[in-house]
Amino acid sequence: MAVSIGADPEVGATRAPHWPRQSRLATAALVLGILAIPFGLLVYPGVLLGAVAVVCGALGLFATRRDRAFGRARAGIGVVAGIVALTIALCLGWQGLRTVRDCQDRLGHRPDHAEIQACIRAGL
């Protein structure tokens, strides 16, 4: 981390140290990633929040390189949490689609909600 203290050519005085600021993208990635994990059980919100967390985390990692801003760990954790949420949501969504397809194969037509529930209770 570099702190710059130097003479200000316009005023002729010494400037105050310029510390790198906190990355808002990294913080957003962390918050969205943490929220996305439980929402992953609801599939669509989990996919949406997880994808946004991964994108914000990647942008946050880019923004925090070379000590331009603090928060590199937050951005990395946001990416990992977003990937975990995406994995949970996509696996549950895939399993749900597979259950509907198996029920459809068993019944011979596209099942409605009650028939899907009956297939699940029957152990399909």
Q: What is the pTM of this model?
A: 0.76
- Reported for 11-19, long-range contacts at CB under 8 A and 24+ positions apart, including other chains, are none
**Coil vs helix vs strand at 14:** strand
Q: What is the pLDDT of residues 11-69, one digit of tens each?
A: 555 665 666 688 899 999 999 999 999 999 999 999 999 999 999 999 999 988 887 77
Q: Residue written as tokens 């925090």?
A: 64
Q: What is the pLDDT of residue 63?
A: 87
Q: Which two tokens stand for residue 66?
A: 């070379």
1 has pLDDT over 80 = no
6 has pLDDT over 60: no
Give the distance, in angstroms, between the CA of residue 108 and the centroid of all CA atoms in the same chain.
39
Give the closest residue to 124 by CA, choosing from 105, 110, 112. 105
pLDDT value for 40: 93
Q: Are 22 and 12 in contact (CB under 8 A)?
A: no
- Residue 120: predicted pLDDT: 86
